[in-house]
Amino acid sequence: MKAPSQSGDGGRSPQADRAAEASPDQTRHQIVGPLMVVPGTVSDAERARARRIFEATFGAAGPAEPKEAAPEDSNIDVGEGKEKRVKLDPLLADALAKVGYRRVAKLAYRAERSTDDVEHVLSFDTYGTPNVYLRGDAGLRNRETEQFVSSRREQYQPALVTRTLRSTGYRFPPWFCAMHFSLGAIAEWGIQSSVDTTLFSPDELARKVQEAVQGKLAPYVGDITTTAKLLEFLERDEEPMRWFRIGGYARAAYIAYLAAKLGRDPSETRRVLVKYGARIVDMIDQTRLTLDTFIEELLGDAEAAVQANSKQPGQ
């Protein structure tokens, strides 16, 4: 798939002008707050590596502030005039229902094409000062694999990341997808792959999201409905699901578990993970693991977890 194009300076939109005037803290969620309150001394190198891990895990969003200073509610009002303003969540729920998605939580929507093997989930949030920029994530998940990834996270990720999440009281949302990418990136929404909601009426904003889902997202991932197709998708390195954006422990664990579930020879899975080793090793606990020991341990864990799950009732 072609990479999203980057627009030049000519004919810059009001959205671009506003974003250009904003500080970095205003144009994206910075993973800074928690790293400042983690107990103990944190070196600049550790802090930088933790930030890379957060952004690979959450994208641009995530536990951006300590829990004492919760981020603004993303279910903002959209539209001009008191009578014409509507809440974002019901607006998106109605718009996405027309293109095959059903609301499952606030600003989270599940595709009707989802199967027992692969769920397709859209989630949205807003950011900025003022809080008017809309961005979306498209996620793919296999519930059994997602549980495996979550259960081993503290075992493999650096201790600083674990301490950071604990210090903020962060909890992964019920519909969080470890494997996700930016909807705005493939729809070419521009600055920070987001939309300035003040530039659109509610109907216009709804159509813009529908067009992104139907015209860009569905052709890209619509046919990923089986375990085998999900594994094949994750083993590629193409826009917008590049390994340097979404990789590290979680993607390696997803691949290891899905491959074990399909009965693939571990040597083939090892070959794939070694290929992306540079994108993995920086995001694991290097005080205990090398790339080789991580892969060996992960493959063994995945095989054992698949066998254990296969013995459970209903499997």
SS3 284: coil
- Could you report the per-residue pLDDT of 226-256, keeping only the tens digit for each? 999 999 999 999 988 899 888 889 999 999 9
Residue 281 φ then ψ, to 5°: -65, -30
The closest alpha carbon to 175, from 250, 124, 246, belongs to: 124
DSSP state of 137: E
What lies within 8 Å, CB to CB, of 9 at 6+ separation is: none
pLDDT confidence tier of residue 296, bands split at 50, 70 and 90? very high
d(CA 85, CA 77): 6
pLDDT confidence tier of residue 311, bands split at 50, 70 and 90? confident
> Is residue 2 pLDDT above 60, yes or no?
no
Q: Which two tokens stand for residue 44?
A: 């600049």
Within 10 A of 51 (CB to CB), how many other CB atoms are there?
16
The closest alpha carbon to 1, from 202, 248, 218, 180, belongs to: 218
d(CA 85, CA 238): 39
Give the dihedral sign, CA 153/158/160/161: negative
Q: Which two tokens stand for residue 231?
A: 């594994």
State which of 65-69, 77-81, 149-153, 209-213 shows the largest mean pLDDT.
209-213
- Which of 34-38, 72-76, 128-132, 175-179 has the lowest average pLDDT? 34-38
3 state SS for 141-192: ECHHHHHHHHHHHHHHCCHHHHHHHHHHCCCCCCCCCCEEEEHHHHHCCCHH
- Residue recorded with tokens 């970095």: 24
